Amino acid sequence: MLAILPFGFMVTLNFFRFFTRLKDGRLFDAPTVRYLETAGKWWIVLGVVQILTGLGEVYLFSPRGFTVSGDAIVAGLIVFFVAWFFREAQELQEEQELTV
């Protein structure tokens, strides 16, 4: 269980940074999008670590009754997909600012 804590902390930290930038009105800045992408990547890693620690616990303590849940991986992929939309919007905004 302690192996999962650093990964959960990194997800939370990047979401905190992302929402702080949103609060400051920097919606389509490069660092804002980067924080969201990073949170998605860490969330995917968190899901993989949860599955691996769950498999380790089942192997050590009870070989029956283990179900694999990929909820964190799916959530990370969704966040990463939303970050892709933000990246596209950022590029459109930069392009529009260059057009007179």
- In sequence order, which residues have a C-beta less than 8 Å from that of residue 60 and are 6 or more positions away? none
Rounded to 10 deg, the angle between the 30-60 and 5-23 helix axes is: 160
Got the DSSP string for 23-67? HTT-TT-HHHHHHHHHHHHHHHHHHHHHHHHHHHHHHHT-SS---
pLDDT of residue 1: 66
Interval 68-83: pLDDT, tens: 788 889 999 999 999 9
Give pLDDT, residue 59: 78
Considering the entire predicted model, what is its pTM? 0.80
Flag the least confident range among 7-11, 16-20, 59-63, 83-87: 59-63
- Reading the block at residue 54, the tokens are 């769950």
* pLDDT tens track for 28-65: 888 999 999 999 999 999 999 988 888 887 777 777 77
- Per the structure block, which two tokens stand in for 8? 């959960």
Where is pLDDT greater, at 68 or 6? 6
